[in-house]
């Protein structure tokens, strides 16, 4: 290895020997393959597995991840899903990732894909998705020990990496090794380049059996071993993962279709049942919705959750939808009231999420999406079958299976797993859930090219989308009302005028130009009833063995549907969480039972 380099919060090394790390990167791939992959028995060890989970203690320039991803792509016996979880206190710049792979042609395309998603890495957990969602990188930005304490999964292999123990001792201390051991099952492989005596002794104290093995020149030796504590283990960090089988998802909106696609990606055969004849006929039938993170002066729970959800939804839109037709990555301008407190300072890395400007806050990570297009894309996932015009009245457990019954008590479907994602209908099937209807009315009309419009969406007290291609032609949309406890789907003139009032705050000149059309009732209305919980956060989790729920997305279905689906899948299968545990707990349906 080259001389250790200490990284600054800006991702620039304080050492004057900046180029040394790139010169060492030319041999970094060989080290990744020999020390880390080879030391953990890869790729042979993952052959035929459904899922493989790698834990790394220092991401650095990403060569270990790229090497593992490359090995996965090249292996005909690769697992269906590769998870790579890595902690990094100070991420480098995206350009550095690309530069470090220049010496390795087989990594250059992968490094470019990684760099494309390498933005907005504020402290916390970030889920990046590659290879059609079959390679998932969970980046834990912050102190490694603290970050690992926010995870709950059993690693199959551990890459113990970082600079020299003498220069970065916190990456090689006993407390960190204990945090790593907590995420290991008996038999988890571990590998590292250092053979320092104190490292060996501390690893052995944590239950690892490690041996010196031939190293890569100029180092004669490295370490490889297994987690094999001499004491009785208290058990793996998670329960035994569920084996994929048959699943029923009730509800074909954003939440239900996302859950179905996430399960199918993990080899489940999924039936999606809905009372309507077609998918996305409820609140998910909105012509187009806004996707933008929430901001707050204290970087609240909702703000942090929304950033995680927006990132994951953008990945799904990029993968599945037609840019400019089904969605557009436009960025979003947030207008704030003059007396509103400034949003929390997220530092340089936070500019993609929120950049203060004279006219508001700019979100580079934002745009508009047609929810129905995303629903259709998720329902098209291999392994998912949609059945409409099926109203499920109740569910019952029979042995190890769940049965869904219609209004006549007749069996509609039977499966090992049920996910209830039917918005307000979830409360009919699960009466213990506290759900609230929220009526929303959106105003829209085809564009008049004589009216000057903003270049992109505007958000604040309501939102305005200046140009969305609909069947009727390019259109603008604005709204929405927020009627708590209201379930009416009839358009209301008063709500149209309320939307105009909101538009006067968001875009006064546009509102003045469009006001005559509102007064003349030439503006169309779309109405939908959303489902919310008492604290306005989704409800995701297990209610009984094999019975799960993913509902109450409120007015942020585009933000939360895929995040909730992946959180549900992670808990079912013992996978790394896409969120820190504290944030995941904030979505857990168990909080309602605790409050009750």
Is the preceding omega at residue 43 within 30 degrees of 0, hence cis? yes
How far is Cα 36 from Cα 200, in angstroms, rounded to an integer? 16
Q: What is the pLDDT of residues 531-562, one digit of tens each?
A: 999 999 999 999 999 999 999 999 999 999 99
Q: What is the pLDDT of residues 320-335, one digit of tens each?
A: 999 999 999 999 999 9
Asked if residue 392 lies in contact with residue 429, where contact means CB atoms within 8 angstroms, the answer is: yes
Residues 6+ positions from 451 with CB-CB distance below 8 Å: 510, 513, 514
Q: What is the pLDDT of residues 357-415, one digit of tens each?
A: 988 999 999 999 999 999 999 999 999 999 999 999 999 999 989 999 999 999 999 99
CATH topology identical between 18-227 and 246-279+375-435+534-595: no
- pLDDT at residue 21 is higher than 80: no
Asked if residue 357 lies in contact with residue 364, where contact means CB atoms within 8 angstroms, the answer is: no
pTM, whole model, 2 decimals? 0.94
Which fold is adopted by the domain 436-532?
D-Amino Acid Oxidase; Chain A, domain 2 (3.30.9)
Q: Where are the domains of the chain?
A: 18-227, 246-279+375-435+534-595, 436-532
Pick the CATH number of 18-227 from 3.40.50.300, 2.40.10.220, 3.40.50.150, 3.40.50.10090: 3.40.50.150
- The pLDDT score that the predictor gives to residue 435 is 97
Domain 246-279+375-435+534-595 has CATH 3.30.70.870: no
How high is the mean pLDDT of the chain? 92
Binned at pLDDT 50, 70 and 90, residue 237 comes out as low
Q: What is the pLDDT of residues 459-504, one digit of tens each?
A: 999 999 999 999 999 999 999 999 999 999 999 999 999 999 999 9
Average pLDDT of the segment spanning 165-186: 91
Binned at pLDDT 50, 70 and 90, residue 238 comes out as low
Asked if residue 207 lies in contact with residue 229, where contact means CB atoms within 8 angstroms, the answer is: yes
Residues 585, 587, 591, CA angle at the centre, nearest 5°?
70
Q: What is the pLDDT of residues 286-309, one digit of tens each?
A: 999 999 999 999 999 999 999 999
- pLDDT at residue 596 is higher than 80: no
What is the side-by-side order of every strand in the sheet holding 417-420?
A: 384-387, 269-273, 246-250, 417-420, 547-551, 539-544
Residue 401, helix vs strand vs coil: strand
Average pLDDT of the segment spanning 27-37: 92
């Amino acid at each position: 290895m080259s001389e250790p380099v200490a990284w600054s919060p800006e991702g620039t090394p304080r050492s004057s020997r900046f180029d040394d790390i790139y010169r060492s990167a030319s041999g970094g791939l060989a080290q990744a393959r020999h020390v880390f992959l080879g030391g953990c028995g890869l790729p042979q060890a993952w052959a035929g597995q459904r899922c493989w989970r790698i834990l790394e203690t220092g991401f650095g320039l990403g060569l270990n991840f790229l090497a593992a991803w490359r090995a996965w792509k090249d292996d005909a016996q690769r697992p269906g899903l590769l998870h790579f979880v890595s902690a990094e206190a100070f991420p480098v710049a995206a350009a550095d990732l690309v530069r470090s792979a220049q010496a390795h042609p087989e990594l250059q395309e992968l490094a470019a894909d990684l760099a494309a998603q390498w933005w907005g890495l504020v402290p916390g957990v970030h889920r990046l998705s590659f290879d059609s969602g079959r390679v998932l990188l969970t980046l834990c930005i912050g102190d490694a020990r603290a970050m690992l304490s926010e995870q709950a999964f059993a690693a199959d292999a551990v890459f113990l990496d970082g600079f020299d123990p003498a220069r970065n001792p916190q990456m090689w201390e006993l407390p960190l090794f204990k945090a790593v051991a907590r995420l290991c099952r008996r038999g988890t492989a571990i590998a590292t380049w250092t053979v320092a005596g104190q490292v060996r002794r501390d690893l052995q104290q944590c239950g690892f059996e490690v041996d010196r093995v031939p190293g890569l020149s100029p180092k004669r030796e490295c370490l490889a071993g297994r987690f094999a504590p001499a004491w009785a283990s208290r058990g793996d960090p998670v329960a035994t993962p569920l084996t994929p089988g048959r699943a029923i998802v009730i509800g074909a909106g954003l939440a239900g279709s996302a859950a179905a696609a996430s399960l199918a990606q993990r080899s489940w055969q999924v039936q999606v049942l809905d009372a309507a004849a077609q998918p996305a006929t409820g609140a998910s039938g909105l012509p187009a919705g806004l996707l933008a993170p929430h901001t707050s002066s204290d970087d609240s729970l909702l703000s942090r959750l929304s950033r995680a959800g927006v990132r994951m939804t953008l990945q799904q839109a990029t993968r599945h939808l037609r840019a400019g037709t089904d969605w557009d990555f436009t960025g979003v301008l947030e207008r704030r009231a003059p007396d509103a407190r400034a949003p929390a300072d997220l530092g340089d890395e936070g500019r993609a999420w929120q950049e203060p400007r004279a006219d508001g806050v700019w979100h580079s990570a934002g745009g508009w999406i047609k929810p129905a297009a995303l629903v259709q894309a998720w329902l098209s996932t291999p392994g998912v079958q949609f059945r409409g015009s099926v109203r499920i009245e109740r569910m019952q457990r029979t042995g190890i299976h769940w049965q869904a019954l219609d209004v006549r008590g007749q069996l509609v479907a039977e499966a090992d797993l049920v996910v209830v994602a039917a918005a307000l209908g979830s409360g009919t099937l699960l009466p213990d859930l506290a759900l609230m209807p929220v009526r929303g009315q959106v105003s829209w009309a085809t564009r008049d090219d004589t009216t000057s419009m903003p270049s992109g969406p505007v958000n604040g007290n309501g939102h305005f989308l200046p140009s969305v291609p609909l069947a009727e032609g390019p259109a603008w949309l604005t709204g929405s009302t927020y009627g708590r406890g209201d379930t009416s789907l009839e358009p209301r003139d008063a709500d149209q005028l309320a939307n105009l009032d909101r538009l006067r705050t968001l875009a006064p000149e546009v509102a003045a130009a469009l006001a005559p059309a509102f007064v003349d009732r030439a503006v169309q209305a779309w109405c939908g009833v959303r489902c919310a919980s008492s604290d306005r956060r989704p409800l995701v989790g297990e209610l009984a063995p094999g019975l799960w729920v993913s509902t109450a997305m409120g007015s942020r279905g585009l933000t939360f549907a895929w995040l909730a689906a992946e959180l549900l899948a992670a808990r079912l299968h013992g996978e790394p969480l896409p969120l820190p545990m504290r944030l995941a707990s904030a979505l857990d349906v168990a909080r309602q039972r605790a409050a009750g």
